[in-house]
Amino acid sequence: MNKKIIIGGIAVIVLLLGIICYFIFSSNKDVTITFNTQYEKSLANIEVKKGEKASLPTLTRDGYDFLGWYVNDQKIDDNYTFNESTTLVAKWKETSYTITFNTDDGTDIDSITFTCGSTFTAPSNPEKSGYTFMGWQYENGRPIENGDVLECMDINLTAIWEEQKTNPTPTPKPSPTPTPKIEKTYTLTYDTVGAGNVSSVKFTCGDKFVAPKGLTKEGYYLAYWVDENRKIVNHGSVLECRDIKVTANWIANGVVTPEPRVTPTPVLPTDAPIAYKPVLYLYPEKKTNITVTFDKPELLTTTYPKYINSWKVTAYPDGSLYDKNGKYYYGLYWEAISEFTPSFNEGFYVESKGAINFLEEKLTFVGLSDKERNEFIMYWLPILEKNEKNLVYFELTEERNIHSKLNITPQPDSLLRVFIHVKKVNEKTNIKEQKLTTFERNGFVAVEWGGSTY
């Protein structure tokens, strides 16, 4: 009898120990958290102990506001306890932007809201005594028409007016029949840059520019027209008394068709390396008068526009720059003798076949925009491909400020300087990989890129 009791007691103890072990080990089991971002960006899975909490990432997406993470349509936060493997689903709301209309003392027009990807539909025309309404334009003077794709930002539009001319009826009086006056005519030619043919037109002195309507180009919208001197020709502006060719400037995904460039062939008095194609972009938060100077202007070899003691421009949030005469520039360009040569103890080994992927990856990581990155690659890709084998070193903002000081007034809130050093080599070379940092854009932003070859 006692033996049976002992055996039964042992069995109960073993069973209890098994239950305790099960709960101990099951409570320490890892569970997997999977993220469904609801767009092309993906996040790596994370694992936490069963019953623990997790720090959830915050997402950003152009044109959308992030509402948070959801489990079965229930929003959760960092206090949520994960007891099993779970898939978190991101929820989004399209960001709304506002178009405000400045009628310049005309009748009021209510503001309208829109979302990313929307096209412009003009409201009813305002009225102003003694003036004819001609259309709407951005703060920088660029006109906007129905069907234009709107940028994903709040927009202020200003009315374009033309004063109505009233001529008093003159008292008729006899006069001799005048000799017919033959006015000289000029030819206006259009280059649509791949958007179809527009017939040239004849005009006389005093005629105004009429922009062709209905031009479309897949993936682009028409920003403005420029003449042979890169001067913007606005709808309704008086044409110069000469034959004129105007060219359409298209914008794709916020990238302005780049200015034509010529590969530099500097002739130098020394063997010092040249800083090729440095270009400076300026993006203030509002229309701002900006002055740019160099600590060592004596090293400059080429500048555009011409640098005389300083550059003084009026800059707009979209990066448009205008000098005191109203001439447009998309950036400030120079070349100079470089006083810095890297040791190439660190950097990157790049072959021609991988040059495109390398530049796109690194320039995106450091923080260049689509426009800036495209401009950079268009200039430096042919050099990397021609060399076939290269060592590359990036001189970024902090180091660049030591070797080539640039003074910008008012001072930018965010400054990014990217200077690539390219050295041709004859064989594959092992090099310690350079650690790059990512640039964040806040407030008034200034961006510069350039480089040297060896």
User: Which token pair is 43?
Assistant: 């996040």
Query: Residue 261's pLDDT band (boundaries 50, 70, 90)?
Result: very low
Q: Which CATH class is domain 2-94?
A: mainly beta
Class of domain 185-256: mainly beta
Task: Summarize the confidence of residues 192-206 as an average pLDDT.
Answer: 88
DSSP H or E run through 302: strand 300-304
- Secondary structure class of 218 (helix, strand, coil): coil
Per-residue confidence at 444, pLDDT binned at 50, 70, 90?
very high
Domain locations along the chain = 2-94, 97-163, 185-256, 274-453
**Of the ranges 51-65, 69-83, 241-255, which one carries the lowest mean pLDDT score?**
241-255
Q: Which helix (H) or strand (E) holds 356?
A: helix 355-366
Alpha helices in 154-282 (DSSP H): none
Q: What contacts 65, CB < 8 A, 6 or more positions away?
A: 92, 93, 94, 95
Q: What is the mean pLDDT of the chain?
A: 85
CATH number 2.60.40.4270 is the correct assignment for the domain at 97-163: yes
What is the rounded end-to-end Cα distance, in angstroms, of the chain? 98
Q: Is the pLDDT of residue 1 over 60?
A: no
258, 374 contact by CB (below 8 A): yes
Burial class, 246, CB count within 10 angstroms (exposed 0-12 / middle 13-18 / buried 19+):
buried
Q: Give pLDDT tens digits for 233-244.
A: 777 778 889 999
Query: Cβ neighbours of residue 1 under 8 Å, at least 6 residues apart?
Result: none
Query: Among 384, 373, 388, 377, which residue's Cα sits nearest to residue 422?
Result: 384
pLDDT > 90? residue 254: no
pLDDT in tens, 282-320: 999 999 999 999 988 888 888 999 998 899 999 999 999
pTM of the entire predicted model: 0.43
Mean pLDDT score, 367-371: 93
pLDDT of residue 89 exceeding 90, the answer is: yes
Peptide bond into 258 cis (omega under 30): no
* 361: pLDDT strictly greater than 50: yes
pLDDT of 263: 34
- State how far the alpha carbon of 164 is from the alpha carbons of 96, 102, 109, in Å: 38, 20, 21
Per-residue pLDDT band for 178 (boundaries 50, 70, 90) equals: low
One fold for both 2-94 and 185-256? yes
Torsion of Cα atoms, 281 then 283 then 284 then 286, to 10°: 130
